[in-house]
Protein backbone atom coordinates (compact mmCIF):
# COMPACT_ATOMS: atom_id res chain seq x y z
CA UNK A 1 0.00 0.00 0.00
CA UNK A 2 1.20 3.49 -0.83
CA UNK A 3 0.64 5.85 2.09
CA UNK A 4 -0.39 8.89 0.11
CA UNK A 5 0.45 12.07 2.01
CA UNK A 6 -1.60 14.17 -0.36
CA UNK A 7 -4.80 12.44 0.75
CA UNK A 8 -3.88 13.02 4.39
CA UNK A 9 -2.98 16.67 3.78
CA UNK A 10 -6.22 17.23 1.86
CA UNK A 11 -8.23 16.13 4.89
CA UNK A 12 -6.24 18.59 7.05
CA UNK A 13 -6.72 21.45 4.57
CA UNK A 14 -10.46 20.66 4.36
CA UNK A 15 -10.68 20.95 8.13
CA UNK A 16 -8.83 24.31 8.09
CA UNK A 17 -10.91 25.65 5.18
CA UNK A 18 -14.09 24.83 7.07
CA UNK A 19 -12.88 26.70 10.15
CA UNK A 20 -11.77 29.70 8.08
CA UNK A 21 -15.09 29.66 6.23
CA UNK A 22 -16.97 29.92 9.51
CA UNK A 23 -15.09 33.07 10.52
CA UNK A 24 -15.75 36.71 9.92
CA UNK A 25 -13.12 39.42 9.82
CA UNK A 26 -9.58 39.49 8.61
CA UNK A 27 -7.20 36.61 9.19
CA UNK A 28 -3.93 37.37 10.93
CA UNK A 29 -0.76 36.68 8.99
CA UNK A 30 1.92 34.02 9.14
CA UNK A 31 5.51 35.27 9.21
CA UNK A 32 8.52 33.50 7.69
CA UNK A 33 11.44 34.97 9.62
CA UNK A 34 14.72 34.63 7.75
CA UNK A 35 17.99 36.29 6.76
CA UNK A 36 19.62 34.55 3.80
CA UNK A 37 17.44 31.53 3.02
CA UNK A 38 19.26 28.66 1.27
CA UNK A 39 17.77 27.11 -1.90
CA UNK A 40 15.87 24.39 -0.02
CA UNK A 41 14.39 26.99 2.35
CA UNK A 42 13.45 29.16 -0.62
CA UNK A 43 11.54 26.21 -2.11
CA UNK A 44 9.90 25.49 1.26
CA UNK A 45 8.93 29.14 1.74
CA UNK A 46 7.48 29.27 -1.75
CA UNK A 47 5.29 26.25 -1.08
CA UNK A 48 4.07 27.74 2.23
CA UNK A 49 3.21 31.01 0.47
CA UNK A 50 1.36 29.10 -2.24
CA UNK A 51 -0.70 27.17 0.32
CA UNK A 52 -1.31 30.39 2.25
CA UNK A 53 -2.67 31.99 -0.91
CA UNK A 54 -5.03 29.06 -1.49
CA UNK A 55 -6.36 29.41 2.06
CA UNK A 56 -6.56 33.21 1.92
CA UNK A 57 -3.84 33.60 4.56
CA UNK A 58 -1.23 36.31 4.15
CA UNK A 59 2.27 34.82 4.40
CA UNK A 60 4.88 37.52 5.01
CA UNK A 61 8.61 37.05 4.48
CA UNK A 62 10.31 39.14 7.14
CA UNK A 63 14.03 39.83 7.22
CA UNK A 64 15.49 39.19 10.67
CA UNK A 65 17.10 42.64 10.59
CA UNK A 66 19.98 43.94 12.67
CA UNK A 67 18.41 42.99 16.00
CA UNK A 68 16.53 39.72 15.43
CA UNK A 69 15.67 39.14 19.09
CA UNK A 70 13.98 42.53 19.26
CA UNK A 71 12.21 41.85 15.95
CA UNK A 72 10.86 38.56 17.29
CA UNK A 73 9.68 40.21 20.51
CA UNK A 74 7.77 42.76 18.39
CA UNK A 75 6.16 39.99 16.31
CA UNK A 76 5.20 38.15 19.52
CA UNK A 77 3.20 41.18 20.62
CA UNK A 78 1.71 41.90 17.19
CA UNK A 79 -1.94 40.82 17.21
CA UNK A 80 -2.01 40.79 13.40
CA UNK A 81 0.48 37.88 13.43
CA UNK A 82 -0.70 34.39 14.42
CA UNK A 83 2.35 32.35 13.56
CA UNK A 84 6.10 32.73 13.17
CA UNK A 85 8.50 30.34 11.50
CA UNK A 86 12.18 30.97 12.16
CA UNK A 87 13.75 29.61 8.99
CA UNK A 88 16.67 27.33 9.89
CA UNK A 89 19.51 28.11 9.59
CA UNK A 90 19.69 31.81 10.36
CA UNK A 91 23.08 32.66 8.92
CA UNK A 92 23.74 35.98 10.63
CA UNK A 93 22.01 35.61 13.97
CA UNK A 94 22.17 33.54 17.11
CA UNK A 95 19.30 31.17 16.33
CA UNK A 96 19.10 29.83 19.89
CA UNK A 97 18.65 33.35 21.24
CA UNK A 98 15.96 34.05 18.63
CA UNK A 99 14.10 30.85 19.54
CA UNK A 100 14.42 31.65 23.23
CA UNK A 101 12.64 34.95 22.53
CA UNK A 102 9.89 33.37 20.41
CA UNK A 103 6.42 33.09 21.97
CA UNK A 104 5.73 29.30 22.18
CA UNK A 105 2.11 30.05 21.27
CA UNK A 106 3.24 31.42 17.88
CA UNK A 107 5.98 28.81 17.41
CA UNK A 108 4.25 26.87 14.62
CA UNK A 109 7.20 24.50 14.22
CA UNK A 110 7.38 23.51 17.88
CA UNK A 111 11.03 24.54 18.12
CA UNK A 112 11.00 26.38 21.44
CA UNK A 113 12.23 24.64 24.55
CA UNK A 114 8.76 25.01 26.02
CA UNK A 115 7.02 23.18 23.17
CA UNK A 116 9.71 20.51 22.93
CA UNK A 117 9.72 19.96 26.69
CA UNK A 118 5.94 19.81 26.66
CA UNK A 119 6.04 16.57 24.65
CA UNK A 120 7.58 14.81 27.64
CA UNK A 121 4.72 15.93 29.88
CA UNK A 122 2.04 15.24 27.23
CA UNK A 123 1.21 18.93 27.19
CA UNK A 124 2.94 20.41 24.17
CA UNK A 125 1.09 23.18 22.40
CA UNK A 126 2.86 22.54 19.10
CA UNK A 127 4.90 19.44 18.30
CA UNK A 128 7.41 19.72 15.44
CA UNK A 129 5.20 19.24 12.36
CA UNK A 130 7.45 16.74 10.57
CA UNK A 131 7.38 14.40 13.56
CA UNK A 132 3.67 15.00 13.90
CA UNK A 133 3.20 14.31 10.16
CA UNK A 134 4.55 10.79 10.65
CA UNK A 135 2.05 10.24 13.49
CA UNK A 136 -0.76 11.70 11.37
CA UNK A 137 -0.02 9.34 8.45
CA UNK A 138 0.12 6.29 10.73
CA UNK A 139 -3.14 7.34 12.33
CA UNK A 140 -4.92 8.18 9.06
CA UNK A 141 -4.11 4.78 7.58
CA UNK A 142 -4.95 2.95 10.82
CA UNK A 143 -1.46 1.55 11.28
CA UNK A 144 -1.20 0.13 14.78
CA UNK A 145 1.65 1.50 16.89
CA UNK A 146 0.76 0.09 20.30
CA UNK A 147 3.33 -2.46 21.42
CA UNK A 148 5.07 -2.53 18.06
CA UNK A 149 8.77 -2.06 17.41
CA UNK A 150 9.64 1.16 15.62
CA UNK A 151 13.13 2.04 14.45
CA UNK A 152 13.84 5.67 13.62
CA UNK A 153 17.05 6.50 11.77
CA UNK A 154 18.01 10.11 12.58
CA UNK A 155 18.01 11.91 15.93
CA UNK A 156 17.53 15.58 15.04
CA UNK A 157 15.53 17.91 17.27
CA UNK A 158 13.07 18.47 14.44
CA UNK A 159 12.37 14.87 13.47
CA UNK A 160 13.96 11.88 15.21
CA UNK A 161 13.93 12.95 18.86
CA UNK A 162 10.43 14.48 19.00
CA UNK A 163 9.03 11.59 16.97
CA UNK A 164 10.51 9.11 19.45
CA UNK A 165 8.77 10.98 22.29
CA UNK A 166 5.45 11.12 20.44
CA UNK A 167 5.61 7.37 19.79
CA UNK A 168 6.48 6.68 23.42
CA UNK A 169 3.51 8.56 24.84
CA UNK A 170 1.21 6.59 27.08
CA UNK A 171 -1.73 5.51 24.96
CA UNK A 172 0.42 5.49 21.80
CA UNK A 173 2.73 2.91 23.38
CA UNK A 174 5.31 2.27 20.69
CA UNK A 175 8.64 0.62 21.52
CA UNK A 176 11.24 2.87 19.97
CA UNK A 177 14.84 2.49 18.83
CA UNK A 178 16.61 5.62 17.56
CA UNK A 179 19.72 5.29 15.38
CA UNK A 180 22.24 7.92 14.28
CA UNK A 181 25.59 8.20 12.55
CA UNK A 182 27.41 6.48 15.40
CA UNK A 183 24.99 3.57 15.71
CA UNK A 184 26.24 0.06 14.99
CA UNK A 185 24.35 -2.53 12.97
CA UNK A 186 21.59 -0.21 11.77
CA UNK A 187 20.44 -2.87 9.29
CA UNK A 188 19.75 -5.26 12.14
CA UNK A 189 17.70 -2.62 13.97
CA UNK A 190 15.67 -1.71 10.91
CA UNK A 191 15.17 -5.37 9.95
CA UNK A 192 13.78 -6.17 13.40
CA UNK A 193 11.28 -3.31 13.29
CA UNK A 194 7.59 -3.41 12.44
CA UNK A 195 7.79 0.24 11.39
CA UNK A 196 10.90 1.98 10.05
CA UNK A 197 11.15 5.77 9.82
CA UNK A 198 14.10 7.22 7.96
CA UNK A 199 15.15 10.85 8.52
CA UNK A 200 18.79 10.83 7.47
CA UNK A 201 19.12 12.89 4.30
CA UNK A 202 20.97 10.30 2.16
CA UNK A 203 19.37 8.93 -1.00
CA UNK A 204 18.96 5.13 -1.07
CA UNK A 205 20.13 4.88 2.53
CA UNK A 206 17.41 2.32 3.28
CA UNK A 207 17.89 -0.69 1.06
CA UNK A 208 15.67 -3.70 0.53
CA UNK A 209 17.83 -5.98 2.70
CA UNK A 210 17.32 -3.69 5.69
CA UNK A 211 13.55 -4.15 5.75
CA UNK A 212 11.62 -7.19 6.91
CA UNK A 213 8.93 -8.20 4.41
CA UNK A 214 5.58 -6.86 5.62
CA UNK A 215 7.04 -3.91 7.55
CA UNK A 216 5.79 -0.32 7.24
CA UNK A 217 8.29 2.23 5.90
CA UNK A 218 7.99 5.99 6.38
CA UNK A 219 10.44 8.10 4.39
CA UNK A 220 11.07 11.57 5.79
CA UNK A 221 14.19 12.24 3.72
CA UNK A 222 14.42 14.96 1.10
CA UNK A 223 17.32 14.57 -1.32
CA UNK A 224 18.03 15.71 -4.83
CA UNK A 225 19.62 13.27 -7.25
CA UNK A 226 20.26 14.61 -10.76
CA UNK A 227 17.78 17.37 -10.03
CA UNK A 228 15.09 14.86 -9.01
CA UNK A 229 13.52 14.88 -5.55
CA UNK A 230 13.92 11.52 -3.78
CA UNK A 231 13.71 10.28 -0.21
CA UNK A 232 16.09 8.14 1.87
CA UNK A 233 14.49 4.87 0.83
CA UNK A 234 15.24 2.89 -2.31
CA UNK A 235 11.57 3.10 -3.18
CA UNK A 236 11.54 0.81 -6.23
CA UNK A 237 13.12 -2.05 -4.28
CA UNK A 238 11.64 -1.55 -0.82
CA UNK A 239 8.08 -1.01 -2.08
CA UNK A 240 8.14 -4.58 -3.39
CA UNK A 241 8.39 -6.07 0.11
CA UNK A 242 6.96 -3.43 2.46
CA UNK A 243 3.34 -3.72 3.56
CA UNK A 244 3.02 0.06 3.30
CA UNK A 245 5.36 2.86 2.28
CA UNK A 246 5.30 6.63 1.86
CA UNK A 247 6.46 8.05 -1.50
CA UNK A 248 8.73 11.08 -1.96
CA UNK A 249 7.42 13.48 -3.10
CA UNK A 250 3.82 13.19 -1.98
CA UNK A 251 4.43 11.64 1.43
CA UNK A 252 5.53 13.16 4.73
CA UNK A 253 6.41 16.57 3.25
CA UNK A 254 2.92 17.46 2.10
CA UNK A 255 1.46 16.54 5.49
CA UNK A 256 4.12 18.61 7.28
CA UNK A 257 3.08 21.77 5.43
CA UNK A 258 -0.61 21.12 6.10
CA UNK A 259 0.10 20.72 9.82
CA UNK A 260 1.83 24.12 9.89
CA UNK A 261 -1.48 25.65 8.83
CA UNK A 262 -3.39 23.61 11.42
CA UNK A 263 -0.98 25.04 14.00
CA UNK A 264 -1.53 28.51 12.59
CA UNK A 265 -5.27 28.14 13.10
CA UNK A 266 -4.78 26.77 16.60
CA UNK A 267 -2.72 29.87 17.38
CA UNK A 268 -5.61 32.08 16.22
CA UNK A 269 -7.98 30.17 18.50
CA UNK A 270 -5.61 30.68 21.43
CA UNK A 271 -5.23 34.40 20.65
CA UNK A 272 -8.99 34.82 20.54
CA UNK A 273 -9.81 32.75 23.62
N1 LIG B 1 9.51 15.76 4.73
C2 LIG B 1 9.64 16.80 5.53
O3 LIG B 1 8.69 17.52 5.81
C4 LIG B 1 10.98 17.07 6.13
C5 LIG B 1 11.12 17.98 7.18
C6 LIG B 1 12.37 18.13 7.79
C7 LIG B 1 13.45 17.41 7.27
N8 LIG B 1 13.27 16.59 6.20
C9 LIG B 1 14.37 15.81 5.62
O10 LIG B 1 14.65 14.73 6.50
C11 LIG B 1 16.04 14.45 6.50
C12 LIG B 1 16.56 14.61 7.90
O13 LIG B 1 16.35 15.94 8.32
P14 LIG B 1 16.93 16.50 9.68
O15 LIG B 1 16.62 17.92 9.75
O16 LIG B 1 16.49 15.58 10.77
O17 LIG B 1 18.51 16.30 9.37
P18 LIG B 1 19.77 16.38 10.30
O19 LIG B 1 19.56 17.34 11.40
O20 LIG B 1 20.92 16.52 9.38
O21 LIG B 1 19.81 14.92 10.97
C22 LIG B 1 20.16 13.79 10.22
C23 LIG B 1 20.26 12.61 11.15
O24 LIG B 1 20.69 11.50 10.39
C25 LIG B 1 21.79 10.89 11.03
N26 LIG B 1 22.70 10.31 10.05
C27 LIG B 1 23.43 10.97 9.12
N28 LIG B 1 24.18 10.10 8.42
C29 LIG B 1 23.91 8.88 8.94
C30 LIG B 1 24.37 7.57 8.66
N31 LIG B 1 25.27 7.34 7.70
N32 LIG B 1 23.88 6.55 9.40
C33 LIG B 1 22.98 6.78 10.36
N34 LIG B 1 22.49 7.98 10.68
C35 LIG B 1 22.96 9.01 9.98
C36 LIG B 1 22.47 11.99 11.81
O37 LIG B 1 23.22 11.41 12.87
P38 LIG B 1 24.07 12.32 13.92
O39 LIG B 1 23.05 12.91 14.83
O40 LIG B 1 24.95 11.34 14.58
O41 LIG B 1 24.78 13.34 13.10
C42 LIG B 1 21.27 12.81 12.28
O43 LIG B 1 20.77 12.30 13.49
C44 LIG B 1 16.65 15.44 5.47
O45 LIG B 1 16.68 14.81 4.22
C46 LIG B 1 15.65 16.57 5.47
O47 LIG B 1 15.69 17.30 4.25
C48 LIG B 1 12.07 16.40 5.64
Report d(CA 47, CA 111) in Å as an integer: 20
Residue 96's pLDDT is: 95
Residue 39's pLDDT is: 84
Q: Tell me: pLDDT of 40 over 90.
A: no
Q: Tell me: pLDDT of 69 over 90.
A: yes
Average pLDDT value for residue range 192-209: 98
Residue 43's pLDDT is: 87
With a CB cutoff of 8 Å and minimum separation 6, the contacts of 92 are 35, 36, 64
Residue 241's pLDDT is: 98
Residue 75's pLDDT is: 98
Which ligand 1 atom is at minimum distance from the Cα of 155? 43
Expressed in angstroms and rounded, the spacing between residue 268 Cα and the centre of ligand 1 is 31
Pick the residue whose CA is nearest to atom 35 on ligand 1: 181
Report d(CA 147, CA 145) in Å as an integer: 6
Report which of 173, 169, 178, 166 is spatially closest to residue 144, judged by C-alpha positions.
173
Pick the residue whose CA is nearest to atom 47 on ligand 1: 222
* CB-ligand 1 contact for 154 (6 Å cutoff): yes
Give ranges for CATH 3.40.50.10860 in the chain.
25-104
Residue 252's pLDDT is: 98
Q: Tell me: pLDDT of 123 over 90.
A: no
**C-alpha distance from residue 255 to each of 63, 79, 93 (Å):** 27, 27, 29
For domain 129-253, which architecture applies?
3-Layer(aba) Sandwich (3.40)
Give ranges for CATH 3.40.50.720 in the chain.
129-253
Pick the residue whose CA is nearest to atom 16 on ligand 1: 156
Is 184 labeled as ligand-binding? no
pLDDT in tens, 142-186: 999 999 999 999 999 999 999 999 999 999 999 999 999 999 999
pLDDT in tens, 84-94: 999 999 999 99
For domain 25-104, which architecture applies?
3-Layer(aba) Sandwich (3.40)
Report d(CA 116, CA 183) in Å as an integer: 24
Amino acid sequence: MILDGKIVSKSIYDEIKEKIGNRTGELPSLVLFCDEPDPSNKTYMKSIRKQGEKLGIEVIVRDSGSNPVEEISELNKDKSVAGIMVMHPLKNANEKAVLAALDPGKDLEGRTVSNLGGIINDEEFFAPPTAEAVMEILDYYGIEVKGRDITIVGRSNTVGKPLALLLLKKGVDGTVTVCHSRSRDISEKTFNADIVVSAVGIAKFIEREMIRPGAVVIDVGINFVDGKLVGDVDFDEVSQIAAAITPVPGGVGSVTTALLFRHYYRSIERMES
